Structure 1
Amino acid sequence: MNAWQNLAGCAEVDPEIFFPERWDGASAAEAKSVCASCPVRFECLTDALQRMERHGIWGGLTEQERRKVTRLPHRCGHCRGPVLAAADRYCSQGCRLAATRRRRTASPAA
């Protein structure tokens, strides 16, 4: 088990909602709502993409949505992970803050 998994929003939720026998809009929406507020959503999605997970919802995305992400050429400006929205430069708020800190540290004092 990865350390980030202990922080996952789904840790205390019935895993069946992420792996239903039949997909419908309600079951996917319930699982995605858990992922939407999860503090380790990016880590979960990255892990699923690296393992080429084929079943269930991981990081808020279905298998079909994860396949689309792997075809996107857009990568995070900090960690090089996949960026879900083409308009974003970073994959997460954490990467955005880390990149800002890095720029401030690298910039000579005025």
Structure 2
Amino acid sequence: MTDWRQRGACLSLNPDVFFSEGRPFREAKEACASCQVLIPCTFDALRVSGVGYQAGMSGVERDRVRRWDRQQRGLETGGRPRKAAS
């Protein structure tokens, strides 16, 4: 079976569109929106810290998802359960 990375919509694009400092990632967003391997790409993008546009998200957006995930799993409190709201 072929690695999912070989089926990404991004393969046909110039890599510079994913690392455009200060410019919108319009081309990258369009490619990700139509990509057949967005789900495995998202898992990979959230697993590793990286720069640029990956899995339909900017670096800031990926950081927000990671932070939300840690909060949901109680990891933002050092692994201790959060206090219940009164």
TM-score > 0.5, shorter chain as reference:
yes
Residue 17 of structure 1: aligned partner:
17
Counterparts of 1:17 and 1:32, CA distance in 2: 10
- Which of the pair has the greater relative contact order for Cα pairs under 8 Å at 6+ separation? 2
Q: Residue 32 of structure 1 aligns to which amino acid in structure 2?
A: K
Please report how far the alpha carbon of residue 60 of structure 1 lies from its aligned counterpart in structure 2 after TM superposition: 0.6
Q: Percent identity?
A: 33
Residue 72 of structure 1: aligned partner:
68
Please report how far the alpha carbon of residue 30 of structure 1 lies from its aligned counterpart in structure 2 after TM superposition: 1.6
Q: Residue 4 of structure 2 aligns to which amino acid in structure 1?
A: W
Where does the alignment leave 5 or more consecutive residues of structure 2 unmatched? 73-86
Output the aligned Cα RMSD: 1.9
Where does the alignment leave 5 or more consecutive residues of structure 1 unmatched? 75-110
Residue 58 of structure 2: aligned partner:
62
TM-score normalized with structure 2 length: 0.71
- Alignment coverage as a number of residue pairs: 70
Residue 34 of structure 1: aligned partner:
31
Cα deviation, 1:71-93, whole Å, max 9, x if unaligned, reads 2246xxxxxxxxxxxxxxxxxxx
Q: Residue 24 of structure 1 aligns to which amino acid in structure 2?
A: R
TM-score normalized with structure 1 length: 0.57
Q: Residue 52 of structure 1 aligns to which amino acid in structure 2?
A: S
Counterparts of 1:10 and 1:51, CA distance in 2: 18
2-11 or 63-72, which deviates more: 2-11
Please report how far the alpha carbon of residue 7 of structure 1 lies from its aligned counterpart in structure 2 after TM superposition: 0.7
Q: Residue 51 of structure 1 aligns to which amino acid in structure 2?
A: V
